[in-house]
């Protein structure tokens, strides 16, 4: 069902519009307002999928309605209806954010087409906002400890630059989260963020994964395939567990960094790429360099900015906030009501040895929610939180 509001002072035009729209599609629910003021009042109270709005009206004209709606519900598309003599105004309303305009008397095809396109676009905008909310909800960075605050500040400063960033820290401390925000807060956020877990890909496949291959480059290469660098063009590539990459892949990554070019495996044709690299590792890369497992020149290229994510043990003050956050999320995932943790239970969790891992804290919270009492007690923590 699409709710369409017509704001028009001329009853005859309203009648025509209602007739055209309702006859066109059963799922159009058409509501009428006879002046701008009552139209805006309706929009404040109800959600509409589309507004058709006359320009010349007493009390509040169409341009004023448009400006008001852009402030209160910017996602609602507005199609202006222009009469003789206000065509220029109609064209100008597009600059103020009107979706389109139609002229009086309304041309049937043009009207229906515009309505259809505007409704489709509205659906897309809403879906997009919903997805974005969902994604950023998954990526919330909880914590007010000096360590996390410093990381957040660093992200704000570094993200909008093109600088390469190396994120280090133990497993499950939030390195991927940092990488996500570096991308989101950069000018590249409209482009793709492509993640490659270098530890999860067998050494003999990593080059083809990163740079692609041409047909026949190796036995199973039965067609040309683009690699992750090409896929990340215009965006960010996140090389997770970069310390686990083979030396030969490292050499190729270095070249991609130096020359902004890649070659698919089996081809000598250069492909230009415009990619920002963010890398992460839980390894001590300096040690890997001294042992000959990691190229020093690559290290210096990757670690223009270094962000160290500290283990949870070094920011215990964030634990109650994290427990609260996970409790909320788990309750909504399970569709159950939210449990509380007693102060003593929280204190005990704060004293645990977390070896750095936030993922583990989440699992423990989930276990306690399932197994613990209505208010999770210190005793529940003693019984169920042990690893």
Ligand X SMILES: Nc1ncnc2c1ncn2[C@@H]1O[C@H](COP(=O)(O)OP(=O)(O)OP(=O)(O)O)[C@@H](O)[C@H]1O
SS3 (DSSP) at 44: helix
Q: Smaller CB distance to ligand X: residue 131 or 135?
A: 135
Contacts of 24 (CB under 8 A, 6+ apart): 112
Please calculate the CA angle 229-131-188 and round it to the nearest 5 degrees.
35
Q: Smaller CB distance to ligand X: residue 47 or 144?
A: 144
CB 384 → ligand X: shortest distance, Å?
A: 20
CB 167 → ligand X: shortest distance, Å?
A: 8
CB 242 → ligand X: shortest distance, Å?
A: 11
Q: What are phi and psi of 224, to 5 degrees?
A: -65, 145
Q: Smaller CB distance to ligand X: residue 83 or 170?
A: 170
SS3 (DSSP) at 26: coil
d(CA 248, CA 253): 9
Q: Smaller CB distance to ligand X: residue 82 or 282?
A: 282
CB 173 → ligand X: shortest distance, Å?
A: 4
CB 118 → ligand X: shortest distance, Å?
A: 37
Do 211 and 227 touch, CB atoms closer than 8 A?
A: yes
Q: Which residues pair with 51 in a beta bridge?
A: 5, 78
- The per-residue DSSP string of 198-217 comes to TTTS-HHHHHHHHHEE-TTS
When CB distances to ligand X are compared, the closest residue is 174
Q: Smaller CB distance to ligand X: residue 28 or 294?
A: 294
CB 140 → ligand X: shortest distance, Å?
A: 6
User: Which residues would be at the binding site for ligand X (CB under 6 A)?
Assistant: 140-143, 169, 171-177, 240, 282, 358-359
Element (H, E) at 115: helix 108-138
CB 172 → ligand X: shortest distance, Å?
A: 4
d(CA 355, CA 180): 23
d(CA 191, CA 178): 17
Q: Which residues pair with 376 in a beta bridge?
A: 341
Q: Smaller CB distance to ligand X: residue 35 or 366?
A: 366
CB 361 → ligand X: shortest distance, Å?
A: 8
DSSP letter (8 states) at residue 35:
S
Q: Smaller CB distance to ligand X: residue 228 or 264?
A: 228
Contacts of 301 (CB under 8 A, 6+ apart): 164, 254, 257, 258
Q: Smaller CB distance to ligand X: residue 142 or 331?
A: 142
SS3 (DSSP) at 80: strand
């Amino acid at each position: 069902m699409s709710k369409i509001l017509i704001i028009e002072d001329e009853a005859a035009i309203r009648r025509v519009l209602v007739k055209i729209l309702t006859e066109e599609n059963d799922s159009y629910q058409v509501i009428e307002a006879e002046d701008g003021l009552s139209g805006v009042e309706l929009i404040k109270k109800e959600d509409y999928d589309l507004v058709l709005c006359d320009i010349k009206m007493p009390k509040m004209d169409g341009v004023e309605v448009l400006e008001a709606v852009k402030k209160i519900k910017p996602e609602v598309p507005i199609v202006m209806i222009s009469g003789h003599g206000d065509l220029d105004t109609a064209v100008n309303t597009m600059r103020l954010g009107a979706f389109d305009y139609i002229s009086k008397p309304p041309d049937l095809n043009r009207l229906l087409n515009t309505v259809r396109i505007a409704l489709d676009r509205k659906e897309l905008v809403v879906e997009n906002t919903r997805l974005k909310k969902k994604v950023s909800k998954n990526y919330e960075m909880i914590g007010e400890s000096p360590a996390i605050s410093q990381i957040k500040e660093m992200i704000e400063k570094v993200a909008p630059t093109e600088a390469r960033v190396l994120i280090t820290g133990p497993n499950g401390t939030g390195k991927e989260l940092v990488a996500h925000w570096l991308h989101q807060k950069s000018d590249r956020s409209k482009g793709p963020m492509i993640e490659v877990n270098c530890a999860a890909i067998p050494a003999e496949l990593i080059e083809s994964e990163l740079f692609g291959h041409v047909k026949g480059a190796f036995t199973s290469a039965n067609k040309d395939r683009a690699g992750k660098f090409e896929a990340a063009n215009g965006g960010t590539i996140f090389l997770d567990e970069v310390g686990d990459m083979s030396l030969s892949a490292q050499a190729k990554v270095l070249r991609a960094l130096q020359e902004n070019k890649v070659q698919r495996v089996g081809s000598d044709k250069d492909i230009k790429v415009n990619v920002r690299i963010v890398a992460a590792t839980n390894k001590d890369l300096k040690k890997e360099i001294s042992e000959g497992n990691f190229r020093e020149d690559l290290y210096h290229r990757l670690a223009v900015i270094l962000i160290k994510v500290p283990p949870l043990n070094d920011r215990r003050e964030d634990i109650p906030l994290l427990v609260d956050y996970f409790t909320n999320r788990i309750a909504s995932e399970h569709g159950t009501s939210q449990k509380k943790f007693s102060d003593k239970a929280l204190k005990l969790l704060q004293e645990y040895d977390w070896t750095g891992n936030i993922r583990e804290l989440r699992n423990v919270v989930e276990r306690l929610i399932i197994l613990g009492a209505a208010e999770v007690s210190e005793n529940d923590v003693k019984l169920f939180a042990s690893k």
